[in-house]
Chain A
């Protein structure tokens, strides 16, 4: 029984045991906001913004790798580390910002639920309350882990976008050309679109979620290689799905000059162009992605806010033990669902502003992360190597520049 060499089978079992944080984070990444952004980008700019996925992928892998490493080495959540090292004031402003942004993001998820169900002819006044209650019940009644696995299984359905894209008969030659030689006018609108794509692919709350799941899994530095594979697989999945959404919308809507504002519009517009099935596939993917993120996002937000301010948190605690946690969680969920149900709610505005807020918060969180991950007192010998630092800091600088442009762009007209 005391073998020293691991067989292929043992390696596979080990990998499957470690598998999870990266792939789940990657799947949550393509949420309603993401699908909307990619659809709009495809419809508006055709294949011309596909190239943005390449730098996004590199930065995504670099950031998630840092999160995983910090989680494994310290055993502490990102919120914990920020609070302990940056003090109360910075923590307070970051987390108030994150809380507001995440309420906006959750609202977007419910908009996705409402929109996708409308494609199937279900009214939002029916779908949103039902889904909202279901999500709340799943988590509070403690069957969340089970639900997470179901969602993970369902997230394979995101690959349906591949089907949806192929049914639109894309022009592969043009796609290849557009990735290598992107042709794009640089103006305020296209810039905002680029920020939107990067921002939705690398959302700030994801960093907290990633690090917590690594800790929860109890991963070890000696299995770091497998964690890295998990992360890369998750990021590839994210980018591949994004790629096919853009292609699906570019090869049908853009070619025919159809403009859209929401992911639902994309699903509806696909119907006459690629058939009813493509449209339904698109809507179903949107529904699954929305409901998955609507479950995880409020939970993750309540969790890291409590972590930062020292309240008891966790779904294994009773309501009385972790009152702040459950109140926050329920509050975010109820508020977001309620906003959707307001007649004529400015949904596009909400999703836009939460993306802008995300864009502002992301560099702040990233700077904190870069400082933490390079702190020898915290990370010991596992501080960043020069390459990760280079990628990290370039990402920070570019993201700050983009965010500043986005925020002040209305001033320049």
Chain B
């Protein structure tokens, strides 16, 4: 046996597998590789099994007793001994032809979906590994069987047929026809992507795959991704989840985002989800849902931090450390009096530049700029740009602090307007 053989999946699929005497044992139909990336040797999954068709019957054999030989430019699959493949591999492995070849996979570096034209494998002394996927034109032409004439033709014109590979450690297969695969393990590398990128990928995926990818994410990540999705996709994904799972994810999202999604869902579904969600969040969402669509109340964030004017900077900082609020909540800090009536505001900067024992009363500024919860949304952008604010407090008729509108929410609104005016 040669010490190193590289070959393409397309070159051995639908060829005859031979035994050591040269007798045909069947047609090669698929290769099975390890689906759990934590088992990979230097990022490459090993080929565990081979699917062979003989007389209309499909058999699975262990690949370690097979080897690939290059004879006169052709690949030959030769079997030394037939050992049945253990059921755990048949059930749990990734099928290269079924789930990778011609399918869309995630390019983790390019953060997008690509279509696989071929898979490059390598055989070394201790096993056979999938090393890269071919997504270039060359792979396409190879599959059609016209790569050599085209390459010859283009070389006459001094042009090159572009070949493009992505190493296996930089891809993640997503569309499994094999339902027994443990998805959370198979998709583990997707967790490293930024929520926005993951959201883009999920939007581009088919219905089944997008639901599977989403449910493999942990709740925190799932909530971040859900927030980034377009409204259509949000609804689609939520419908694909069980009520319990959906409620768990929504619990991790800001109440105003949840309310936005609920506006697009059916009322019965919303009621079910609200019952299942944590009491605090569902109460907040319920309140937001009562606001009309184009009112400030419907877009405001209810996660606000308010303090007593007698507190010292030290106490406020200790409180923040304990609460660990989201970055957004720190855009603006508030001082409230009796019954949560808004008195004044102060900023993170104020906290940082003054001595720890200073009281909030000394650094706070009166909250002259604020919004009412039933005010129209289109008046917000003007205020934000006029006063250069990151967040504006929202109060009700009795000046009770209800939440705040963050610049991010208004930017969406402004950009939406720009688009329709074009």
Instruction: List residues of A whose CB falls within 8 A of some B CB.
Output: 1-4, 73-76, 80, 83-84, 87-89, 92, 143, 146, 218, 220, 309-310, 312, 377
Contact = CB atoms under 8 A, between A and B. Distances in A.
B177 A310 contact: no
A88 B144 contact: yes
8 contacts: A1-B289, A2-B268, A4-B267, A75-B205, A76-B207, A92-B140, A218-B232, A220-B239
Contacts of A143: 422
Given A83-B102, A87-B102, A89-B144, A1 B290 contact: yes
Contacts of B177: 377
A83 B115 contact: yes
A312 B116 CA distance: 13
A34 B167 CA distance: 49
B114 interface: yes
B144 A80 contact: no
B135 interface: yes
A79 to B, nearest CB: 11
Nearest to B267: A2
Interface string B131-151: 000010000100111000000
A373 B31 CA distance: 27
B132 to A, nearest CB: 15
Given A74-B208, A76-B206, A218-B236, A84 B144 contact: no
A74 B206 contact: yes
Contacts of A73: 207
A88 B115 contact: no
Contacts of A218: 232-233, 235-236
Interface in B287-322: 289-290
Contacts of A92: 140, 144
* Chain A CB within 10 Å, residue with most, of B102, B114, B289: B102
Nearest to A377: B177
Nearest to B286: A1
Contacts of A76: 206-207
B135 A89 contact: no
A75 B268 contact: no
A312 B206 CA distance: 16
Nearest to A84: B102
B208 A309 contact: no
B194 to A, nearest CB: 17
Contacts of A3: 267
A396 to B, nearest CB: 24
Contacts of A74: 206-208
Given A84-B175, A89-B144, A310-B114, 15 more contacts: A2-B268, A2-B270, A75-B205, A75-B206, A75-B210, A76-B207, A80-B104, A87-B102, A92-B140, A92-B144, A218-B232, A218-B233, A218-B235, A310-B104, A310-B135
B206 to A, nearest CB: 4
A216 to B, nearest CB: 9
Nearest to B115: A310
List the 9 closest pairs (A to B, CB-CB), nearest first: A310-B115, A218-B232, A75-B207, A88-B143, A76-B206, A75-B206, A2-B267, A92-B144, A74-B206
Contacts of A146: 422
B289 A84 contact: no
A389 B411 CA distance: 50
Contacts of B102: 83-84, 87-88
Contacts of B144: 88-89, 92
Contacts of B268: 2, 4
Contact of B112 (A2, A309, A312): A312
